[in-house]
Amino acid sequence: MPSNRSTPALPPAAGNGLLDRRLFLRGGAAALAGLSLAGARAAEAERQPWARTPGAGMRSYGAPSRHEDHVQRLGISAQPGTNGSGVSRTPLEHLEGTITPNGLMFERHHSGVPDIDPDRHELRIYGRVRRPLRFSMAALDRYPRVTRAYFLECSGNSGVMASAAQPPDLRCGELHGLISASEYTGVPLAALLDEAGLADGAAWVIAEGDDAARMSRSVPLEKAMDDGLLVLYQNGERLRPEHGYPLRLLLPGFEGNMSVKWLRHLHVTGAPAMSREETAKYSDLRPDGRARLFTFPMAVKSVITSPSPGLDLSGPGLYQISGLAWSGRGAVRSVEVSADGGQSWAPAHLEPPVLAKHLTRFRAAWQWNGAPARLLSRASDDTGAIQPTRPAWLARHGGGAFYHYNAIQAWAIDEHGRASNAYG
């Protein structure tokens, strides 16, 4: 997109064209991409075809433009012999801001999506409690609600970046799209556990869903009582079926698998269940051949969503880097970006409000000179944790590791402006 005006001198913040983030705050990182408009054509009378006749009417429930049909969940794949045991991914490279539309939130099901009648669904609390209780959905409507924005990330997100010898030729969402964020509204789990009354020895809560797999996970009681949420609404409306309608558990910042969908049972116990989904799966194989169980919080992480593979540059000039950062342990403290493969770093601008355990959108302006470049982002959180390089992550976790991958992501930009996945 050539400009007919000269680009002003912009203050650099790091090597290879990264500009000062304060340019965002005062609006100075303008692309100068507007084309001159002849005065005579300015207020022209000609109309596009869509403006010549009255348009479509109102609809009971809207849908995206047909011109956005390419924006869909990615990499839908199911186990052989099933159609509902698998995943779909969020197309991060086509989205902006921090909220994921419900229609595009990633999915991970262990035996498909049940069609639950809310009038016949109930939640049961039993085990080491003084009063075993059951709650209809109507009963849950009587309890205090809270609204909070949180991310939810599958612990297997980005795992292919750990296990593949060569960088997979995939897009941002295909690599990292097992993450989404929403505004959730629900009942604090503590309110119901208080009502049931914790008995001696209560230390864990086994949460089980009412899908055909009866997916279950063991939750430390401390987490359940801290910020565990029984979610009824996501982004304003009732949960969608694939996200646990009519009731899901949400454990902010913890690996997504623990936020059990279609929640039916809360069994208070003295010890974890050691179920399949926390022993054979969702555990971390270590270099010595032993597996580490119970890695709950998702580590600090970031990814540049644009530019990224498929969103290529159209020639030298000014570009806006946009990306997402998050931490399961708290709030993002800073994100740095590099355009020279990590030799130098510039601080990115973080969009307010920066909320704990929610996605943070970061931005930086970059003057691309047309030569090959390598774009990286590196986040730190308010515990002081910072993203490792891929070699550092592998050295620590071992070659057999797959879950909880949070290393720095690099996009290589070639001289044609094409972006591709890269290691280091």
The one-letter amino acid at 213: A
Cis peptide upstream of residue 101 (ω within 30 degrees of 0): no
End-to-end CA distance of the chain: 30
d(CA 174, CA 192): 38
> In 371-405, which positions are buried (b, 16+ CB within 10 angstroms) versus exposed (e)?
eebbbbbbbbbeeebebbbbeebbeebeeebbbbb
What CA–CA distance (Å, rounded) separates 394 from 399?
6
Q: How far is the CB of 208 from its own copies (least distance, A)?
A: 9
Q: Rounded CA gap, 210 and 291, in Å?
A: 28
Residue 272-291 contact track with its own copies, rule CB under 8 A, x = bound: --------------------
Interface with its own copies by CB under 8 A: which range of 51-59, 278-286, 297-305, 394-402?
A: 51-59
CB-side neighbour CA atoms (13 Å) of 278 = 24
132: left (phi over 0), alpha (psi -120 to 50) or beta: beta
Site string for its own copies, 144-163 (x = CB under 8 A): xxxx----------------
Instruction: Write down the least CB distance from residue 23 to its own copies, Å.
Output: 7
- Contact yes or no for 402/155 (Cβ under 8 A): no
Contacts (CB under 8 A) with its own copies, residues 228-247: 232-233, 235-242, 245-246
Residue 293 Cβ, how far from its own copies at the closest point, in Å?
A: 24
Does position 143 bind its own copies by CB under 8 A?
yes
418 binds its own copies (CB under 8 A): no
Q: 271 or 293, CB closer to its own copies?
A: 271
Long-range contacts of 273-280, Cβ-Cβ distance < 8 Å, separation of 24 or more: 273/204, 273/206, 273/216, 273/217, 273/218, 274/218, 275/206, 275/216, 275/217, 275/218, 277/110, 277/215, 277/216, 277/217, 278/217, 278/218
Distance of closest approach, residue 424 Cβ to its own copies, in angstroms: 28
Map the footprint of its own copies across residues 299-318, applying CB under 8 A.
314, 317-318
- Of 122-130, 153-161, 374-382, 415-423: span binding its own copies (CB under 8 A): 122-130
Nearest distance in Å: CB 400, its own copies:
28
Q: Which of 227, 220, 150 is nearest to 188 (CA)?
A: 227
Rounded to the nearest whole angstrom, what is the least distance from the CB of residue 323 to its own copies in the complex?
12
Q: Which tokens is 41 given?
A: 């054509």
Site for its own copies in 100-119 (CB under 8 A): 100-105, 107, 109, 111-118
Q: Does 226 bind its own copies (CB under 8 A)?
A: no
Instruction: Give how many residues touch its own copies by CB under 8 A.
Output: 135
Q: Which is nearer to its own copies, 262 or 393 (CB)?
A: 262
Of residues 104 and 394, the one with the C-beta less far from its own copies: 104
For residue 386, what are its two tokens? 């910072």
Residues 161-190 close enough to bind its own copies by CB under 8 A: 183-185, 188, 190
* DSSP-assigned letters across all residues of 147-202: EEEEEEE-TTTTTHHHH-SS-----HHHHH-SEEEEEEEEEEHHHHHHHH-BPTT-
The residue range among 90-98, 280-288, 290-298, 392-400 that interacts with its own copies, by the rule CB under 8 A, is 90-98
Nearest approach, Cβ of residue 398 and its own copies (Å): 31
Residues 64-83 binding its own copies (CB under 8 A) are 64-68, 71-73, 76, 78, 82-83
Instruction: Select from 15, 160, 195, 286 the one that contacts its own copies (CB under 8 A).
Output: 195
Of the residues 7, 22, 141, 271, which one makes contact with its own copies according to CB under 8 A: 141
Footprint on residues 23-42 left by its own copies (CB under 8 A): 23-24, 27, 29-39, 42
Residue nearer to its own copies on the CB measure, 19 or 170: 19
Q: Which is nearer to its own copies, 232 or 407 (CB)?
A: 232
Give least dist CB 48 to its own copies, A.
6
Interaction between residue 215 and its own copies (CB under 8 A): no
| CB neighbours of residue 174 within 10 Å | 19
DSSP category for residue 315: S
Count CA atoms closer than 13 A to 52's CA, side-chain side: 5
**Smallest distance, Å, CB 329 to its own copies?**
20
**Residue closer to its own copies, measured from CB, 219 or 401:** 219
Tell me which residue of 38, 11, 40, 39 sits closest to 24, measured CA to CA: 11
Whole-number Å distance between alpha carbons of 176 and 89: 8
Lookup: tokens for 44: 């022209």
Select 74 or 376, whichever has its Cβ closest to its own copies: 74
